[in-house]
Structure 1
Amino acid sequence: FFFVYAYFREQVCTVICPYGRLQSVLLDRNSMIVAYDYKRGEPRGKFKKKQEASILFGDCIDCFQCVKVCPTAIDIRNGTQMECVGCTACIDACNKMMDAVGRPQGLIRYASENGIANGKKLVYTGRMKFYTGILIILAFGLAFLLSTRKDVDGTIIRAGGMLYQERGEDSVSNLYNIKIVNKTNKDIPVTLKLEDANGSIIEADGKDIQVLKEAQGKGSFFIVLPRSFIKERKTTLRVGLYEGDKRITVLKTNFLGPFTKSSAKTI
């Protein structure tokens, strides 16, 4: 970033940032932009504070303050340009100079091209209503996602390259890997429990999974089921994530077992 700020500077806005190029697609003559009121400001000329401006000059005193403060070094008085990033630094600089010479603020302001040309105030057009509606929908969508997101979430995946393991004559196990995301600001010890299944979970290292705050936790574990419970080749299981006795969330996974068509008829 030192190279960018020390040498590249405004070239970032004109070469890398797509904002300026998007303006040509999204703007029309009724769009609100940072604009110079050429009808009020032209022709340019200098005069002192409290001195009546000559009828030969407009309000612009040609001080170039708007150009000096512009991060991309453009002259906003030449109209909308690709390099403009809408930072409004020129508005602040111009208002300060207008105060210094006793003229009204707003020579550079948010306005539309038609508004300046016709001397009319902003008209709330259909396009603006459409964009407003889109922004409202996006805002509500973001609020919904934030309000319904889980503080702790995760994924369970069967260990790759492995089928099931037979444990004696009456039990079968599968090996799983789990990744847990903790979005809270506290450490959480997570215990795994089977939901709605007659079986057990055995952690590979024999310990609960410790998930640090705002971090991820990983672990491996076996799910052991009795053969009598397996009635399909692939059985859907629900694994509960618990903090003590409090259930945080429930994850789903599949269990593979030694199920055949002949055994199905027997069952």
Structure 2
Amino acid sequence: MDKEVEQKEVGTVTSIYQEFEHWDVNKGDKTIHAKRMPGFFRTVKNYTQLALWLPFFLLPYLRWNGKQAILFDIQNRQFHFFNLTVLPQDIWMLSLLLLVLAMTLFAVTSVASRVWCGYFCFQTAWTDWFTWIEDKIEGNPTARRKLEEAPWDFDKIKKKVSKHFIWMVIALFTGISFSVWFVDAYDYWRDLVHLQLPTVGWVVITMFFLGTYILAGLLREQTCFWLCPYARIQGVMSDAQTILPTYDFNRGEPRGKLRRGGEVVAQQGDCIDCFQCVQVCPTGVDIREGQQLGCITCGLCIDACDSIMDKIGKPHGLIRYASLDELEGKPAKKMYQHPRTLVYIGIILIALAGIVYGLTHLGAMTLKVIPERQPLFVTLSDGSIQNKYEFKVLNKTDKDVFVTVAAEGGIKGQVVIGADKPLLTHHGRGTSFTIFVKAPGENIKKEVTPLEFRVQSVDDPTIAAEYSTKFNGPKR
């Protein structure tokens, strides 16, 4: 009995070793030179990357009322979006926005896997641009491999230097483009040209230059394999109902080479083992071996396979976007039938509602009034009662504003003291001042009387804010 158990254990260990021996993974020991082929998904990939990342380079130069239209002004703790200014007090809306982006990513992944990686991710986009430049300078994948193995001569040095120089220019411009989201773009360029950037400016541009050049130019797909956390966590967001690029093994197997004259053996599957799907893959995976960590669901293998199917007279779809359950003949669920996707969408809608509410109630000015607690009120020599209030006015505009103070409701005959003249509020930050309200003692009928203060701009009545508080008096 023990001998049988021992033999079973040995057999299990042997099968594990065999599994690892045939486990195909890109370890980075060779450079992936992906073939570029035209097709539907290549076109989608190009346009989606441009739609997302072209504004990254261009929007900071857009001006609005003589200023940068979109500016994350960290130094002054302000975010400018055209006429809208968001201050640190409204940072909760940024938190909701980040929540919306995260939940959208999770929802899309649960339905269509790593669509972000395949079509939008900055690492994917920059690597695609870098390899396009490499293709234009060094030639197609075959030529690039020959160039790598060729001895160093003038032609090789010229091509390598040209390629890396252009990569460095793009990396430098990437660092500059990131920086001008946080400072005025035109001021930044002036300081850069005159080498007068502050220390933090040089640090940021250097980090982005090195990061872009190394990640997109040198590491490439290895960044997706070994550095990106999303590649690891996306596995728990997908299931057998998730739609992703899949190889139809029922139709494709057994695979085999095409006979002379285009003849295909009757019992042979539609896959002719041309390896085009592997050659176009930017991460070098073979989709026919099942789902793998390196697959970024870009769909380029679908374009390659469909082009081959056209040539041999077979229908498209040997490799296509489909769920694993669909390939096994199981009924596919609709998006609304995925419970976790509905949860993601619910969170997104709630967060969006919060953002809309915040933006519609943002206002150009906010007011907070803190009544004096010790003492609650003071009885003056003429018998009148006086309350003290600490005003905190947040001016969200880009100009200093003079405001008037008024009190509504409260006690008959009340008088506001300390605001005889308009008070100055500073732009982009809070301003504090003290206000007193005095009321005749005989007119005070209750211990606590509701009171509402209003501050309003002298020049623009639409810039105003209200705050409800109370007027304290003696017990009656």
TM-score of the aligned structures, taking structure 1 as reference length:
0.65
**1:144 maps to amino acid:** A
Rounded Cα–Cα distance in structure 1 between residues aligned with 2:294 and 2:434: 60
**Distance 1:138-1:100 versus aligned 2 partners, 3 A rule:** farther
Q: Match for residue 57 of structure 1?
A: 268
| Counterpart position of 1:244 | 460
Structure 1 CA distance, aligned partners of 2:247 and 2:396?
51
Count of paired positions: 245
Deviation at 1:134, TM superposition (A): 3.0
Deviation per CA, 1:89-110, whole angstroms, max 9, x where unpaired? 2222322332233321111112
Alignment of 1:133 with 2:352, yes or no, is no
Equivalent residues of 2:403, 2:423 under 8 A apart: no
Does residue 1:124 correspond to 2:333, yes or no?
yes
Matches within 5 A, 1:25-174: 25-47=236-258, 51-55=262-266, 57-118=268-329, 122-124=331-333, 128-138=337-347, 140-142=349-351, 144-148=353-357, 149-150=359-360, 152-153=362-363, 156=367, 174=389
Give the deviation of 1:64 after TM superposition.
2.7
Matched, 1:199 2:416: yes
SS of 2:266's equivalent in the other structure is coil
Bigger drift between 17-26 and 149-158 goes to 149-158
Which stretch has the larger CA shift, 29-38 or 56-65? Answer: 56-65
Match of 2:235 in 1: 24
Asked whether the 8 Å contact 2:242–2:324 carries over to 1, the reply is yes
By how many angstroms is 1:13 displaced?
2.4
Partner Cα separation in structure 2 for residue 43 and residue 190 of structure 1 = 82
In the alignment, residue 337 of structure 2 is paired with which amino acid? M
Deviations, residues 124-182 of structure 1 (Å, cap 9, x unaligned): 279834245335434543553454332634655679xxx99x9xx67665554444557
Q: Which amino acid aligns with 2:462?
A: K
Amino acid at match of 1:196: E
Gapped runs of 5+ residues in structure 2?
1-210, 410-414
Letter in 2 for 1:20: A
**Structural RMSD (CA):** 4.7
Deviations 1:41-67 (A, max 9, x none): 223334389834223532223333322
Asked whether the 8 Å contact 1:44–1:60 carries over to 2, the reply is yes
CA contact (8 A) 1:204 1:221 kept: no
Q: Is the 8 A contact 1:203 1:220 kept in 2?
A: no
Q: CA distance change for structure 1 residues 62 and 253 in 2, over 3 Å: closer, same or farther? A: farther
Give the letter aligned to residue 71 of structure 1: P
Aligned residues of 1:195 and 1:240 also touching (Cα < 8 A): no
Counterpart Cα distance in 2 of 1:65 and 1:205: 76
Once the two structures are overlaid, the 10-residue window that deviates more, 195-204 or 172-181, is 195-204
The answer to whether the 8 A contact 1:65-1:93 is kept is: yes
CA distance in 2, matches of 1:50, 1:139: 56
Distance 2:420 2:337 in 1: 57
CA deviation vs aligned residue, 1:70-107 (integer Å, no higher than 9, x gap): 33322211111223232222222322332233321111
Q: What's the counterpart of residue 110 of structure 2? A: none
* Whole-Å separation in 2 of the counterparts to 1:102 and 1:200: 90
1:194–1:201 contact (8 Å) kept in structure 2? no
CA distance in 1, matches of 2:406, 2:276: 70
Percent identity among equivalent residues?
29
Q: Give, in angstroms, the shift of residue 5 of structure 1.
A: 1.1
Residues 19 and 85, structure 1, Cα contact 8 Å, conserved in 2: no
Gapped regions of structure 1 (runs ≥ 5) = 211-216
Greater helix proportion: 2
TM-score, reference length from structure 2: 0.40
Structure 1 contact 193–200 (Cα < 8 Å) conserved: no
For 2:280, give the aligned amino acid. V
- Per the alignment, do residues 36 and 240 of structure 1 end up closer, same or farther by CA in structure 2, a change over 3 Å counting? farther
